[in-house]
């Protein structure tokens, strides 16, 4: 990572995180020792820190549930888009099949009319009535070819009709799936809004000083988790260099710093966590699944010690959050509602797995 990029990350961490910094070249992204600050005097109505810690945990749970519901919404939306595309493709096949069937019927009708004009007499009778047996035999050969062709037409008509019936059945099944996913999408949307509304209501009840103390508690929790992760010595083992595509993905993701989190968003003005990572890799020419859970399921798992910039870190036991590793123990991610795309410590949340889009 160049000095210019490192400086950008340092500034972003200082301004946005206020708890971790990107160190000088050659050192790891580590949480600095916090400077002790005087504890402000609490007003009689202010909640003690233990109550605020309970509030913090409650907010974490609400936003976590909102993230899970957001993943469900995104998955339902992606499935609905795929089903809509499948229905359109099937409709085109049905139109072409109907046109083909009409043409086959027309040709079969013409063949039947030609046979009718011949009088429908048996070949033996036509031979006896013919003035020129040789001409008859030549004509009989052409009739035989015509009969074979007619048989082929009838067989193709049957196959085309069977195809049309299958297309109709497939379209009906896709419509049923589409309707189910629309309902799932609506249910997930309702749950997301409910969880976010509950979190916002909880925060709205806090006084200004309580909100400031709550922010410090959040910072301390992230600092503690990052410090524990770094103290394990894991960063000494991580020295992978980004691939060409990985560099492009990192450039895209870091250029979105400061843009707001919005559930279900894929840019360019706002993002949710997997919207940011999927769009970053799409910009690098590598499409990946839309949701954090599918990114975890479908992309290749990588040992943390083999991690390199551009890899994705999946967080929480239910894969409800994802971030992009950018090197030096840091990630860029879209955290949650009310926050912006920012830089944080890679170990500031419980890691489930690391996956590589361009493995």
Q: What is the pLDDT along the chain (359 residues), one digit of tens a residue?
A: 443 433 433 333 333 343 333 332 233 444 443 434 444 444 434 556 678 888 888 888 888 888 888 988 888 888 888 888 888 888 888 888 888 888 877 777 776 666 655 555 444 444 444 555 555 445 545 555 555 656 677 777 788 888 888 888 888 888 888 888 888 888 888 988 899 899 889 888 888 899 888 888 888 989 999 999 998 888 888 888 999 999 999 999 999 999 999 999 999 999 999 999 999 999 999 999 999 999 999 999 999 999 999 999 999 999 999 999 999 999 999 999 989 999 999 999 999 999 999 98
* Whole-number Å distance between alpha carbons of 179 and 264: 19
Question: How many other CB atoms sit within 10 Å of the CB of residue 183?
Answer: 11
Please indicate whether residue 17 is annotated as part of the active site.
Answer: no
Tokens of 252: 């895209």
The answer to whether 324 and 265 are in contact (CB under 8 A) is: no
* Whole-number Å distance between alpha carbons of 269 and 259: 6
Judge whether 3-31+209-356 and 75-195 match in fold.
no
Question: How many other CB atoms sit within 10 Å of the CB of residue 93?
Answer: 16
In the chain, where the domains are located: 3-31+209-356, 75-195
Which of 56, 259, 333, 336 is the catalytic position? 333
Homologous superfamily (CATH) of 3-31+209-356 is endopeptidase domain like (from Nostoc punctiforme) (3.90.1720.10)
Which of 189, 259, 308, 321 is the catalytic position? 321
Which residues, in sequence order, are bridge partners of residue 111?
none
Which of 13, 242, 273, 288 is the catalytic position? 273
The answer to whether 357 and 249 are in contact (CB under 8 A) is: yes
Tokens of 40: 């402000």
Q: List C-alpha distances in Å: 38 to 35, 42, 55, 89, 224.
A: 10, 12, 22, 66, 20
Name the residue with tokens 């297309």. Answer: 167
Q: What is 75-195's CATH number?
A: 1.10.287
In this prediction, residue 184 carries a pLDDT of: 86
**271 alpha-carbon distance from chain centroid:** 12
Question: In the Cβ-directed half-sphere of 197, how many Cα atoms lie within 13 Å?
Answer: 6
Q: List C-alpha distances in Å: 184 to 31, 49, 68, 173, 178.
A: 41, 39, 13, 17, 10
**263 alpha-carbon distance from chain centroid:** 13
Pairing of strands 321-327, 330-333: antiparallel
Entry pTM: 0.63
Please indicate whether residue 64 is annotated as part of the active site.
Answer: no
């Amino acid at each position: 990572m160049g000095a210019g990029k490192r400086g950008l990350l340092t500034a972003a961490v200082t301004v946005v995180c206020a708890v971790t910094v990107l160190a000088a070249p050659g050192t790891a992204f580590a949480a600095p020792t916090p400077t002790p600050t005087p504890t402000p005097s609490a007003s009689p109505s202010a909640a003690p820190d233990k109550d605020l810690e309970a509030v913090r945990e409650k907010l974490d749970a609400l936003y976590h549930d909102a993230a899970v519901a957001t993943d469900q919404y995104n998955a339902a939306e992606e499935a609905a888009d795929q089903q809509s595309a499948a229905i359109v493709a099937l409709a085109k096949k049905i139109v072409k099949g109907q046109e083909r069937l009409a043409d086959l019927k027309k040709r079969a009708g013409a063949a039947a009319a030609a046979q009718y004009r011949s009088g429908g007499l048996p070949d033996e009778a036509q031979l006896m009535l013919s003035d020129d047996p040789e001409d008859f035999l030549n004509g009989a050969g052409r009739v035989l070819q015509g009969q074979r062709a007619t048989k082929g037409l009838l067989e193709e008509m049957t196959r085309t009709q069977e195809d049309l019936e299958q297309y109709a059945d497939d379209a009906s099944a896709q419509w049923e799936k589409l309707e189910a996913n629309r309902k799932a999408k609506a249910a997930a949307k309702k749950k997301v809004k409910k969880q976010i509304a509950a979190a916002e209501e909880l925060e709205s009840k806090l006084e200004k000083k309580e909100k400031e103390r709550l922010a410090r508690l959040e910072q301390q929790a992230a600092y503690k988790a990052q410090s524990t992760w770094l103290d394990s010595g894991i960063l000494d083992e991580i020295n992978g260099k980004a691939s060409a595509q990985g560099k492009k993905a990192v450039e895209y993701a870091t250029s979105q710093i400061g843009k707001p989190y919005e559930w279900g968003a894929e840019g360019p003005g706002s993002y949710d966590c997997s919207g940011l990572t999927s769009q970053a890799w799409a910009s690098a020419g590598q499409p990946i699944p839309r949701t954090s859970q599918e990114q975890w399921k479908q992309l290749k798992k990588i040992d943390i010690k083999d991690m390199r910039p551009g890899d994705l870190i999946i967080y929480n036991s239910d894969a409800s959050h994802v971030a992009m590793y950018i090197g030096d123990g840091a990630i860029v991610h879209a955290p949650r509602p009310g926050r912006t795309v920012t830089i944080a410590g890679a170990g500031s949340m419980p890691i489930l797995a690391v996956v590589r889009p361009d493995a």
